Amino acid sequence: MNFNTSVIEQNRFKDIDFLIKRDDLLHPDFSGNKARKFAWFLKEKFPDIKRVISYGSSQSNAMYSLSVLAKMRGWEFDYYVDHISSFLKQNPHGNYLFALKNDMNIFEKPFPKELPQNSLFIHEGGRQKEAAYGIKILAKEIKEQLKDNERVDVFLPSGTGTTALFLQKYLPYKVYTTPCVGSETYLKDQFSLLESDESLYPVILNSKKRYHFGKLYSEFFKIWIELKEQTGIEFDLLYDPKGWLTLLENIDIFENRILYIHQGGILGNISMIKRYERKIDEHNR
Ligand SMILES: *Cc1c(COP(=O)(O)O)cnc(C)c1O
């Protein structure tokens, strides 16, 4: 199966004229950078594989995307988590609910040291060399779609950094990113697991304030609402607010029009919005 190409649109936010690659619109069930990162596993023949095994958090976008991949391929999907909150067990929602609907088998324990036969193991968040395949296609689309050979500065927020790293490898433009999951050092360590040549790494930008992944910040929710109002686009609530805040803080360093990569993850917003609303309720009580 092949995806359609996603469009590049022009938009404006806080007086900044920018371009945006709409990878959130790639496919209704399998979108964003996880579709790119897992494209190889959709395309390759795996005659002996019957099961895909991974691990991570109980609301992860990668978890949901793997449940879609497994369903499309007719594989079992075993997913290992440290912990599922009792609230989530009693009120399944978001990525967790939709992955369960795709028949995910979820286990609250460490993943087995010995993998069962005929299984495919995927690292947390899809940090895999195989991701290069789909991200190379993304880079090719971008090069073909930019009109009049416009030069751009590419920006995207990182988790494992896999998408940013491979985009920098395959694009003739500078790629800028910011770490959302850990520190700059963590992000560089992630890059080094996939690429030893540091000259091929994206430029890492930081925000003045340190943020912790998955925590709620009023400025995150605020910028997410402003983005929706001014651009008409729904961004993700885990990565994009840190991305946009960092981009605005560092706006002076960009030399060309920015091409922002929308990496999907909208399904994950359901649980994040619920958490923000509960926080606002508590605050107003
Ligand atoms: C997974 C994800 C990321 C991080 O991608 P990496 O390749 O791990 O850096 C960013 N944004 C969204 C919406 C995601 O789902």
Gap from CA of 284 to ligand 1 centroid (Å): 33
Query: Is 158's C-beta closer than 6 angstroms to any atom of ligand 1?
Result: yes
Average pLDDT over residues 150-178: 97
**Do residues 156 and 135 lie in contact, with contact meaning Cβ atoms separated by under 8 Å?**
no
Q: Where are the alpha helices (DSSP H) in the chain?
A: 32-37, 39-43, 61-73, 86-90, 94-101, 131-145, 162-170, 184-194, 218-231, 240-249, 269-284
pLDDT digits 0-9 by tens, 259-282: 999 999 999 999 899 999 998 888
The pLDDT score that the predictor gives to residue 156 is: 98
Does 1 score more than 70 pLDDT? no
Name the band, by pLDDT with cuts 50, 70 and 90, for residue 285: confident
pLDDT digits 0-9 by tens, 33-49: 999 999 999 999 999 99
Q: Encode burial over 5-33: b for 16+ CB neighbours within 10 A, e otherwise.
A: bbebeeeebeeeebbbbbbbbbeebbbbb
Tell me how far apart the alpha carbons of residues 233 and 19 are, in angstroms, rounded to a whole number: 12
Name the 3-class secondary structure at 109.
coil
Query: Is 163's C-beta closer than 6 angstroms to any atom of ligand 1?
Result: yes
The DSSP H or E segment spanning 119 is strand 119-121
The pLDDT score that the predictor gives to residue 2 is: 64
Gap from CA of 212 to ligand 1 centroid (Å): 15
The pLDDT score that the predictor gives to residue 115 is: 87
Tell me how far apart the alpha carbons of residues 93 and 237 are, in angstroms, rounded to a whole number: 16
Tokens of 105: 């088998």
The pLDDT score that the predictor gives to residue 92 is: 95
Secondary structure, 3-state, 54-67: EECCCCCHHHHHHH
Query: Is 32's C-beta closer than 6 angstroms to any atom of ligand 1?
Result: yes
Query: Is 160's C-beta closer than 6 angstroms to any atom of ligand 1?
Result: yes
**Do residues 198 and 227 lie in contact, with contact meaning Cβ atoms separated by under 8 Å?**
no
The pLDDT score that the predictor gives to residue 44 is: 93
Name the band, by pLDDT with cuts 50, 70 and 90, for residue 29: confident
The pLDDT score that the predictor gives to residue 126 is: 87
The pTM for the full model equals 0.95
